Amino acid sequence: MKRKPIDRNARAERKTIDRALSRLGLCSRTEAVEFVRAGRVRVNGLVVRDPERWVVPERDRIELDREQAKERAKLYVALHKPVGYVTTRSDPEGRKTVYDLLGDLGAWLAPVGRLDRDTSGLLLFTNDTDFAARLLEPTSHVAKRYRVEARGRIDDTEFERLRRGVELSDGRTLPARVALLRRSKERTLFELTITEGRNRQVRRMLEAIDSKVLKLARVAFGSLELADLAPGAHRELLARERNALRR
């Protein structure tokens, strides 16, 4: 008897249901897990409650809330986050969130990284999970440039420490770039470019040299510049901007 040829691509097409929903641009993987466990997801007409259930999106009919789950158009948005907003979809303390500024763009969007409540500047959003994952991958070393206003006069010796890396509680920082803009006895204004994404990293780096951040704004993420985007405003990225970030 002649054996049926093995489809060696079939396994590559398979995805867990939570990843499939996320890849379609409908939600985050965390949200997808919640949807599945709540019984809101069907595969080929049957409710599934296991987020790790295997599916082949090109073949299986996947439904969310009884509507066929179709891939959303990819959306890439830059926001100028003002101080006072938290980078989360909802806040149990009732604080303002970045999603209050985005409004309804017709698609689920997730931030590519975060800015803390007291930091302003460029924040990127997308529903392209592969795109976001590449930018956030630690080995990608995407440069983030910040404008820092710090307490006191930071001398060249301390700047050199920042350039070489300083010891933090979670390890030594990678080399950074520093560009002095202005300094006096009371304050120092400079730009700091880092290639990591640790929690409150810039603030902790300044503490490591016995200084303190007074104002902090991210002015560039990779090749993308904040430029003249007004505080609280957002815009879609141009094709050339998206392509530059992919390089």
Q: Which residues contact 193 (CB under 8 A, 6 or more apart)?
A: 143, 144, 145, 146, 176, 177, 178, 220
Rg (CA), the chain: 22
Contact yes or no for 194/218 (Cβ under 8 A): no
Contact yes or no for 112/124 (Cβ under 8 A): yes
Residue count of the chain: 247
Contact yes or no for 235/229 (Cβ under 8 A): yes
Catalytic (active site) residue 116: yes
Cα dihedral: 166, 168, 174, 177 (round 10) = -50
Angle at 204 between CA 203 and CA 206, to 5 degrees: 70
CA proximity to 120, closest of 146, 144, 94: 146
Cα dihedral: 215, 120, 199, 197 (round 10) = -110
Separation CA 17–CA 62 (nearest Å): 9
Out of 60, 116, 128, 130, pick the active-site residue.
Answer: 116
- Residues marked active site are found at 116
